[in-house]
Amino acid sequence: MPRSLSLPLSPFALSFAREVLAELARARILLDRALSQRPHGMAAVADIETLPLADRLGAEYRGVPSASTMTEAEIAACIEAGRDPWAEDLHGRPHKRMISAPLSAMTMALRILAQMPDEDDLRRLGKNGALTAISMPSRTERTYLHQEAQEFLTALSRACKARDIVWENPAIRILGADTDGLRRDHARERSEFESALNRSIARGKAVWAVTGFPHDLPDNGYAVADRVFPMPTLSEEMVLELLRVTHSVTGEIAENALRERLPSDDKLASLPPPLIEHAFAGETTFEVAERLSRYVERRKPTSGTVLDDMALPTSLRDDLEGMIADLRAWLSGSLDWSDVSSSLCLSGPPGTGKTLLASALAGSAGIPLVATSYAECQRHGHQGDALRALHDAVEKAMTEAPAVILIDELDSFMVRGGDSHSARYNVGMVNGLLEQLTRLNEAPGVLLIGATNHPERVDPAILRSGRFDRHHTLREPDQSGIRLILMRNLGGSSDRIDLAPHAVRLSGCSGATVAAVARDAMSRARREGATLREDHLDAAIQQMTSDRSDEHVWRIAVHEAGHVVVNWHLTGEIPNRVRITPHGGEVAGAHRPVETLESAHDRIAALLAGRAAERVLIGSVSSGAGDDLRQATELAYNLRHAWALDDQHLLALPPSTGRMLPGTPLGDALDHVLRGEAARAEELVHGAKDLVATLAHSLVEKREISAENVKIILEMMPSDRRVETTSQSTRSTGSTLGE
């Protein structure tokens, strides 16, 4: 069942709760009266017991509702005017709210008694030696319980005495309450709590152990606990019971009309004690209900962005929609949280929408988003403060569950190692994050999203299953995604503009860049006092993207076409997408999880095919192949000296730039491999020159080609003109590392 649990009050719990509420009200009224009559504003507890019996009964319901003599129409008119005729006295005693109601104690009483459906349950909680563990996610609520515990337990004890129920007032031990207005570090809080709990257990008295979450209970507490339950949340039924005491002189209220105005139970559960107290400061029952409804609507606005606003890969969209479906099943009670896969890690270049996607997930689920990052935590000070900020963000998400939490900049929690000061600091930060990820994994109702630009830098323990169950890489949006982003950011103004050609010009830009272009275009239109026009969008794109000559664009297209054609001839693979970007070109395809000697050689040839295509079709090469050469060199080194695919030796040796320079044995051996594959790539490009040119022309025209259209172009070449892969004899494995 969901952790935010709203329980109905059983007939016994309701009857007993009313007696406890009456005791609390009587005690507060008498205390207020005694304080007002003493010279120095102080009253001893004994003063209350010595007051006349008639005064001690002053808080009980005595009036007859005005509504008892009204017609249906008169009652409706009274309610329409904002008055509650059931709370007002027929014989002239006007409605008057209880000014200093012990609302927190009353609320805690109702919530705890909801877990006691019969008298036996109540007896067990007050029996000598009994330990009851109660989980309350909100630190604010735990603080309020600490402040109100004595008043609540005194009223509970008196109500038990009136019913001849044997009751031993339990000691209350609370983990993480701000008892003196100061926040202690978590280790100290836990140590003090565990010591106090152990002392209470050793004495054999009744004790209530209150923690944020069940797993916070120490081992000794688990060993002797009679009951472990989550604190039920405030419900509509409980609010009505409170109003009978605080806002009625008859003990009755316009229950049906109030139910129509009160928020639902799940929304009431989101309100912290200060807002509830402020709502109950309203003069009438209806004003209280209206305040509560207003607060829940204002307090937790969800994101205006939803998943439908984003162009997402099918697999990622399916995972996100599955998380939402599971969350809703959990909320309905039909799915246990342990069966929910609730975590996902997003990686990809900056501006690809990782943060926006977390917001869209929260928006589609209709739940709040809690966002934090490495930098946000560091902003709070030294390591202890940073880890506290991370802990607080996690606790906020757990308290507000159901919720989404985004932890950004995971790549700043780097791979642990070394003995320098910075390395030891990093170990502390990584260990702190791992502790919080464990808490989140056990937290019902929290969907966890991690984000990183460089997943290879993240400590592997962070990314393993159980901490992040799913992993997805986000890329720059395709042209359909660009049009969607433009439409969303331009609003109704986009209806008058054909966005397709603008999407072509923005091909390869990040989603953040596209959104910035749209904002710039709208700003230009506003400055002119005009509606959005094509020239506004043209100017914004011109400002954001640099001009390139036709020759430059053609070289990029030829380069990317060479990669695609050679890789297709060697492996039969069709890339997911080919496009020209503002910074060059891109061939998007899946990487092989495992390499063989043959596949590694083929991949080197495909990497060098862009350079080969430039040489064959243009007659010169450019610096655009720099990254290709770097990757090819790394791959050549790995196949020989990291993976031992050539069977020359079984030593895995770390790379060394000095040993890989031209003229060194290792450098010459690697260069031999690269030159052999470069020659093979050039031979393949020569044999498929027309096909490379056709694909390049299409890329210049469209700037982006999907997998389906790439396949159509590649298969245009007649089978009898396709070049076969050169024989193994053209591959040179070179010599082994000789040192």
Torsion of CA 689, 695, 697, 703, to 10 degrees: -150
Q: Are 703 and 507 in contact (CB under 8 A)?
A: yes
Residues 327 and 393 in one domain: yes
| pLDDT over threshold 90, residue 559 | yes
**Structure tokens that stand for 431 in this block:** 């260990």
Q: What is the pLDDT of residue 50?
A: 42
**Structure tokens that stand for 149 in this block:** 């515990």
| pLDDT over threshold 90, residue 406 | yes
What's the whole-number average pLDDT of the chain?
83
Q: What is the pLDDT of residue 620?
A: 93
Cα separation, 665 vs 669, in Å, equals 6
Residues 492 and 606 in one domain: no
More confident residue, 606 or 53: 606
Range of the domain at 501: 479-544
pLDDT tens digits, residue range 116-153? 889 998 888 888 889 999 988 788 888 888 888 888 89
Residues 416 and 371 in one domain: yes
| pLDDT over threshold 50, residue 730 | no
Residues 199 and 90 in one domain: no
| pLDDT over threshold 70, residue 658 | no
The residue-averaged pLDDT of 705-720 equals 79
| pLDDT over threshold 60, residue 2 | no
> Does any domain span residue 739?
no
Cα separation, 633 vs 637, in Å, equals 6
Q: What is the pLDDT of residue 410?
A: 92
Question: Residue 209 — very low, low, confident or very high, per pLDDT cuts 50/70/90?
Answer: very high
Q: How many CB atoms lie within 10 A of CB 57?
A: 11
**Structure tokens that stand for 643 in this block:** 């993976």
Q: What is the DSSP letter of 389?
A: H
> Does any domain span residue 561?
yes
| 3-class secondary-structure state, position 227 | strand
How many angstroms separate the Cα of 59 from the Cα of each of 19, 54, 243, 249? 11, 10, 13, 9
| pLDDT over threshold 70, residue 725 | no
- To 5 degrees, how large is the angle CA 43–CA 45–CA 51? 85
| pLDDT over threshold 90, residue 606 | yes
Residues 422 and 507 in one domain: no
**Structure tokens that stand for 146 in this block:** 């600490």
Q: Are 245 and 106 in contact (CB under 8 A)?
A: yes
Q: What is the pLDDT of residue 655?
A: 73
Question: Residue 312 — very low, low, confident or very high, per pLDDT cuts 50/70/90?
Answer: confident
Sheet-wide strand order for 584-588:
584-588, 577-581, 704-706
Question: Residue 656 — very low, low, confident or very high, per pLDDT cuts 50/70/90?
Answer: low
Of the candidate ranges 51-55, 532-536, 538-542, the one whose mean pLDDT is the lowest = 51-55
The percentage of the chain sitting over the pLDDT mark of 90, rounded to a whole number, equals 30
| pLDDT over threshold 80, residue 185 | no
The residue-averaged pLDDT of 84-112 equals 81
Cα separation, 236 vs 259, in Å, equals 7
- CATH no. for residue 514? 1.10.8.60
- Name the amino acid, one letter, at 348: G
| pLDDT over threshold 90, residue 722 | no
* Among 544, 562, 579, residue at a domain's last position: 544
Q: What is the pLDDT of residue 674?
A: 93
* Among 273, 299, 325, residue at a domain's last position: 299
Of the candidate ranges 47-56, 179-188, 380-389, 512-521, the one whose mean pLDDT is the lowest = 47-56
Cα separation, 356 vs 247, in Å, equals 45
> Does any domain span residue 537?
yes
Of the candidate ranges 43-57, 74-88, 500-514, 675-689, the one whose mean pLDDT is the lowest = 43-57
Q: What is the pLDDT of residue 344?
A: 92
pLDDT tens digits, residue range 409-428? 999 998 887 778 788 888 89
More confident residue, 662 or 523: 523
Phi, psi (deg, nearest 5) at residue 470? -125, 150
| pLDDT over threshold 90, residue 56 | no
Torsion of CA 36, 38, 40, 45, to 10 degrees: -90
Residue ranges of the alpha helices (H) in 82-227? Answer: 103-113, 119-125, 139-162, 186-203, 219-224
Q: What is the pLDDT of residue 235?
A: 92
Question: Residue 549 — very low, low, confident or very high, per pLDDT cuts 50/70/90?
Answer: confident
More confident residue, 328 or 726: 328
Q: What is the pLDDT of residue 52?
A: 38
Cα separation, 611 vs 634, in Å, equals 17
- CATH no. for residue 427? 3.40.50.300
The residue-averaged pLDDT of 57-82 equals 81
Residues 198 and 320 in one domain: no
Q: What is the pLDDT of residue 291?
A: 94
Of the candidate ranges 15-24, 95-104, 167-176, 396-405, the one whose mean pLDDT is the lowest = 95-104
Q: What is the pLDDT of residue 92?
A: 60
Question: Residue 735 — very low, low, confident or very high, per pLDDT cuts 50/70/90?
Answer: very low
H or E element, residue 347 = strand 343-347
More confident residue, 480 or 242: 242
Q: What is the pLDDT of residue 181?
A: 58
Q: What is the pLDDT of residue 61?
A: 56
The residue-averaged pLDDT of 501-508 equals 80
**Structure tokens that stand for 207 in this block:** 């004790």
> Does any domain span residue 736?
no
| pLDDT over threshold 80, residue 62 | no
> Does any domain span residue 27?
yes
The residue-averaged pLDDT of 670-699 equals 93
Phi, psi (deg, nearest 5) at residue 209? -105, 115
What is the count of structural domains for the chain? 5
Q: What is the pLDDT of residue 465?
A: 82
Q: How many CB atoms lie within 10 A of CB 324?
A: 17
| pLDDT over threshold 80, residue 694 | yes
> Does any domain span residue 737?
no
| pLDDT over threshold 50, residue 738 | no
Question: Residue 400 — very low, low, confident or very high, per pLDDT cuts 50/70/90?
Answer: confident
Question: Residue 632 — very low, low, confident or very high, per pLDDT cuts 50/70/90?
Answer: very high
Q: What is the pLDDT of residue 371?
A: 92
Q: What is the pLDDT of residue 44?
A: 41
More confident residue, 527 or 298: 527
Q: What is the pLDDT of residue 184?
A: 62
Most confident of 60-69, 78-87, 209-218, 534-543: 78-87
**Structure tokens that stand for 263 in this block:** 């928020």
Burial of 350 (0-12, 13-18, 19+ CB in 10 A): exposed
| pLDDT over threshold 70, residue 688 | yes
Q: How many CB atoms lie within 10 A of CB 392?
A: 18
The residue-averaged pLDDT of 246-264 equals 91
DSSP per-residue codes, 595-657? --HHHHHHHHHHHHHHHHHHHHHTSS--GGGHHHHHHHHHHHHHHHHTS-TTSS--------T
The residue-averaged pLDDT of 558-579 equals 91
DSSP per-residue codes, 641-665? HTS-TTSS--------TGGGSTTSH
Residues 637 and 711 in one domain: yes
Residues 334 and 321 in one domain: yes
Question: Residue 594 — very low, low, confident or very high, per pLDDT cuts 50/70/90?
Answer: confident
Residues 294 and 349 in one domain: no
* Among 209, 231, 253, residue at a domain's last position: 231
Of the candidate ranges 3-17, 200-214, 335-349, the one whose mean pLDDT is the lowest = 3-17
> Does any domain span residue 735?
no
Residues 453 and 583 in one domain: no
Residues 135 and 168 in one domain: yes
Cα separation, 682 vs 689, in Å, equals 10
User: Which residue(s) pair with 142 in the sheet?
Assistant: none
Cα separation, 189 vs 67, in Å, equals 53
Residues 389 and 271 in one domain: no
* Phi-psi group of 58: left, alpha or beta (phi > 0 → left; psi -120 to 50 → alpha; rest → beta): alpha
> Does any domain span residue 181?
yes
Cα separation, 274 vs 280, in Å, equals 10
Question: Residue 349 — very low, low, confident or very high, per pLDDT cuts 50/70/90?
Answer: confident
The residue-averaged pLDDT of 350-367 equals 86
